Amino acid sequence: MRLLISVASADEARAAIAGGAEIIDAKDPTRGAMAAVEPATLRAIMLAADGERPVSAALGDALSPADAERGARAAAAERVAYVKVGFAGVADASLVERTLAATVRGVEAVSMSAGVIAVAYADAERAGAIAPDRLIESAERAGAVGVLLDTAFKEGGGLFRIMSEAAVAVWVQAARDAALVVALAGGLGMTDLGAARAVGADIAGVRGAACDGGRTGRVSAERVAWLAMSAGRRSGPHRPILAHRSDIVTSSATPR
C-alpha cells in the first residue's frame, strides 16, 4: 500500500518527501475536503517534488463538466500524475458521469499518462453526494483510472468511524472488480493504516495525522516517517506511478 500525503505548499511537499511519502497530493485544506490550490502553488509543489514523487491535484467539488474539463487540462499541463474531482452536493449519477468524462477529456488533451480519480464520500448523505457504490459505476463508465473513498466533513469522525471495516472492504472489492486503482482517506491515523491495508487499498491518503497542529497545521517529516512505517513502507527505490490497477497487481511482487 502506498502512502499519499496531502500538502498545501512546496515546503510541505519537501517535508512529506523527506518523511517517505510515496505520492504528494496538492490541495487546500482550509477550503474543504477537495479544494484546489492556486495555480502558482501547484507549480511550486511540482518543482519541490522535482520528479522524485508523483503528484496528484485536487480540482474541487461539484464542478460543472466545463469547469472540470478546464481544471483538468490546466493541472495535467503541469505534469501531475492524477487529478481528483469530488461530488459533494451532486447525487445525480448521470451528471457525475458527464463531469468525470469531461475531466478525462481535459486530461487527455494534454497528457498521455495522467489519470482521473473520482472521489466518493463515506458521509455522502450528509454531503448531498452520490452514494459510494454508484460512484464506482460512474467512474468505470467515464474512463477514470481510480476511485477514492474519503470524508467530506472532517469534524465528523474518520472513515472507519463512519463506515465499518467490513463495509469499506466490500466497497474496495467492488472497485477492484472494476479494475480501478483504489484509495482510502478521511481522518486516517497510524492505527487506521493497518485497516486500510487489510481491506486491500492500493493507496492511503493522510493529512491531519501528518501535521503538527492538525489538518490545518504544517506537514512534519517526522510524522510522515511514522505514518510510512505504519503503512508498511520498506526501504528501497521509489516505484513509478501506476496508472491502472492491473499494473499494481502485476507489480505485487515488488516490495512496497
Q: Write down the catalytic residue from 14, 27, 207, 245.
A: 27
Q: Does the pLDDT value for residue 133 go beyond 70?
A: yes
User: Rounded CA gap, 87 and 99, in Å?
Assistant: 9
pLDDT for 154 equals 87
27 is annotated as an active-site residue: yes
- The catalytically annotated residue of 84, 154, 176, 233 is 84
Domains by residue range for the chain, with CATH = 2-250 (3.20.20.70)
- What span, in angstroms and rounded, lies between the C-alpha atoms of 158 and 171? 16
Q: Tell me: pLDDT of 240 over 60.
A: no
**CA 96 distance to own-chain centroid:** 17
Q: Is the dihedral of CA 77, 80, 86, 92 positive or negative?
A: positive
Q: How far is the C-alpha of 185 from the C-alpha of 34, rounded, in Å?
A: 11
Mean pLDDT of 47-66: 96
Q: Which of 255, 209, 253 is nearest to 234 (CA)?
A: 255
Cα–Cα distance, 122 to 256 (Å, whole number): 27
Q: pLDDT for 40-49, tens place per residue?
A: 999 999 999 9
Task: Provide the pLDDT for residue 221.
Answer: 97
Average pLDDT estimate for 131-149: 98
Mean pLDDT for 138-160 is 94
Q: What is the pLDDT of residue 115?
A: 98
Name the band, by pLDDT with cuts 50, 70 and 90, for residue 84. very high
pLDDT band with cut points at 50, 70 and 90 for residue 233: low
- Whether 217 has a pLDDT exceeding 90, the answer reads yes
Nearest in space to 6 (alpha carbons), one of 81, 57, 66, 75: 57
Backbone angles phi, psi at 219, to 5 degrees: -65, 135
Residue 166 near residue 143 (C-beta atoms within 8 A): no
**Could you give the CA distance from residue 4 to residue 52 in angstroms, rounded to a whole number?**
13
Q: What single DSSP character describes residue 83?
A: E
Question: How much of the chain, in percent, has pLDDT values that exceed 70?
Answer: 91
Task: Indicate the length of the chain as a whole number.
Answer: 256
Q: Has residue 253 got a pLDDT over 90?
A: no
If one compares 224 and 250, the residue with the highest pLDDT of the two is 224
Give the chain's mean pLDDT.
91
**Is there a contact between 65 and 89 (Cβ–Cβ < 8 Å)?**
no
pLDDT tens digits for 108-132?
A: 999 999 999 999 999 999 999 999 9
Kindly indicate the confidence band of residue 216, based on its pLDDT and cuts at 50, 70 and 90: confident
Q: Among this protein's residues, is 84 annotated catalytic?
A: yes
Q: What is the pTM of this model?
A: 0.90
